[in-house]
Amino acid sequence: MSAPVIAIDAMGGDFGPHCIVPACLQSLAEFPSLHLVLVGQSSLLEELVSAEPSVDRSRLRILHAADVIGMAERPSQALRAKADSSMRVALQLVRDGEAQACVSAGNTGALMALSRYVLKTLPGIDRPAMVTAIPTEAGHTHLLDLGANVDCSAEHLYQFAVMGMVAAEALGIERPRIALLNIGTEDVKGNQQVKLAASLLQQAPGLNYVGFVEGDGLYRGEADVVVCDGFVGNILLKASEGLAGMIAGRIQRLFSSSLLARLAGVVAMPLLRGLQAELSPARHNGASFLGLQGIVVKSHGSAGVEAFRSAIRLAHREIREDLPQRLHGRLEHLLL
């Protein structure tokens, strides 16, 4: 396999190149065969890269793009008026075979719209879906969709389940258990789309469909792939991130509330730090756009250096697993 090449939208996110460039340079050190193309305002990128003279420039290229898509910009505006945006140029590198993946922390709606326009979807897929692995008691669960598709039909949910299964298999999970997120586990629960999707999944050969799962069952690890529409998935993900932050803050305040509590904190701190590292959002940053003819990874807009490195790691792994080709090879046998 040739050396992996990842195109980076270096102007995206809340912190832009001042965060993204250090993350990229550290990723080059982490993966000796990795090549990166930083896309954005070349003068600024060159200044930031030149501040680190030890970087291997043979594996790093800077490609100029004059436009930047704002975090609050409408996707339609990004499509029509920003032909030379860093996001679009990075995606075009994937389309043209000059890179195998694109990573961006930019505007999610614009990234999805441009990805569909530039890369197109795989045959049989109506809509790409955003997926990420979230920590559970049993390990990890792949959750999709995370916000790319607010309104979904039963057929869309079925396609998400198939794509999620293939993504889980790529990580070594044999016969991934697939579930639909619902307000109860009984067959009579849920809206019409979820019930129809359940019927499709029950009839599909080759899918290990285990039924409905509730939110608490998701975190117990009752399924390897959990499917929902993007409206529900995005709320679940953001609520989970907020809950984790709230619990961490309360624990910290409790251990500083008195002398006895501080002493207890000294004893418990190694365990708490290990748990914090395991559940850290930075460690799990990066959502894949499944269903495209190319690899696109969306980093959280507020990601710091370590979190953006996690998104690059995810893209690197998907290149190694050749995820789009793996999806393409399975879809014709599994789609309706």
Give the domain 1-125+291-336 fold.
Isopropylmalate Dehydrogenase (3.40.718)
Q: How far apart are CA 318 and CA 89, in angstroms?
A: 21
Cα 256 to the center of its chain, rounded Å: 35
Of 283, 311, 310, nearest to 298 by C-alpha is: 311
Q: How far apart are CA 224 and CA 249, in angstroms?
A: 29
SS3 288: strand
First to last CA, the chain: 33
- The reply to whether omega before 145 is within 30° of 0 (cis) is yes
CATH of region 127-283: 3.40.718.10
**Fold equal for 1-125+291-336 and 127-283:** yes
| 105 Cβ neighbours under 8 A, 6+ residues apart | 9, 12, 13, 14, 20, 298, 299, 300, 301, 303, 308, 311
Is 325 exposed, middle or buried (CB count within 10 Å of its CB: 0-12, 13-18, 19+)?
exposed
Per-residue confidence (pLDDT) for residue 139, from 0 to 100: 85
Cβ atoms within 10 A of the Cβ of 157, count?
25
Joined together, the tokens standing for residue 130 give 């955003």
Per-residue confidence (pLDDT) for residue 38, from 0 to 100: 97
SS3 174: coil
Q: How far apart are CA 250 and CA 69, in angstroms?
A: 37
Q: Where are the beta strands (DSSP E) in 2-157?
A: 5-9, 35-40, 60-64, 101-104, 129-136, 139-144
User: How is the chain split among helix, strand and coil, in percent rounded to 5?
Assistant: 50, 20, 35
Per-residue pLDDT of the chain (336 residues; tens, 9 = 90+): 678 999 999 998 889 999 999 999 999 999 999 999 999 999 999 999 998 888 888 999 999 999 999 988 898 888 888 889 999 999 999 999 999 999 999 999 999 999 999 999 998 888 899 998 888 888 889 999 988 888 899 999 999 999 999 889 887 888 999 999 999 989 888 899 999 999 999 988 889 999 999 999 999 999 999 999 999 998 988 888 787 778 777 877 877 777 776 766 666 666 656 555 555 555 568 899 999 999 999 998 888 899 999 999 999 999 998 888 888 877 777 765
Per-residue confidence (pLDDT) for residue 243, from 0 to 100: 78
Residue-range domain boundaries for the chain: 1-125+291-336, 127-283
DSSP for 202-269, please give it.
Answer: HH-TT-EEEEEE-HHHHHHT--SEEE--HHHHHHHHHHHHHHHHHHHHHHHHHTTSSHHHHHHHHHHH
Q: Is 113 in contact with 79 (CB distance < 8 Å)?
A: yes
| 333 Cβ neighbours under 8 A, 6+ residues apart | 206
Q: How far apart are CA 281 and CA 296, in angstroms?
A: 19
